[in-house]
Amino acid sequence: MMQTPRIPLSPQWWSVYASPLSTWETLEGYHLALGLLRSKPPSQDLEKERIQGYLAGLLEGEGYFYYTRYARSWYPSIYLKMCEKKPVEFFCDVMNVKILSVQRAYRASVKGLRTILLARIIRPMLTGRRGRVAHLFETRGYRVTNSRTFDDYVYMYRIDRERTDAEPSQW
């Protein structure tokens, strides 16, 4: 007798945080990004308020909110860099990303849809510019393709940007 694969009755816990909003500029590539997130999902500990508060505090103090350019699109990104390894390892464990060491410092980053998920979860705990940029990430989506719109964001929110040759599938 052939067994049919078990289909989960409910979606992954994080899917509500990664679902598109009507304000997103584009959905092109969304299913690829969703598949990447599905293949390496963040820890469900991210639902715990204590963890959310810790990450918000960590990113409020040591985080860097910016856009990464790949090809003709801009992707929201959050970067953490510290001399102390433990907090960066914790961030990596929760977000299911790799830690990188660079010249006596440890760093980790999330990009694209993983950034949107994190921004949606911790935004209520962020203040000032980081809170406003997290709101921008959440409402504008995981990818911005309109250069004029992007330039407006850079001006209004004082957002930095970087260029990468790594394809989004490698994030």
Comparing 73-77, 91-95, 159-163, which segment has the lowest mean pLDDT? Answer: 159-163
For 29-84, write each residue's pLDDT tens digit: 899 999 999 999 999 999 999 999 999 999 999 999 999 888 888 899 999 999 99
Instruction: Give the C-alpha separation, 18 to 142, whole Å.
Output: 9
Instruction: Give the C-alpha separation, 72 to 96, whole Å.
Output: 27
- Overall fold of domain 42-162: Endonuclease I-creI (3.10.28)
When pLDDT is averaged across residues 133-147 and rounded to a whole number, the result is 89
Average pLDDT over the chain reads 86
For 108-129, write each residue's pLDDT tens digit: 999 999 999 999 999 999 998 8
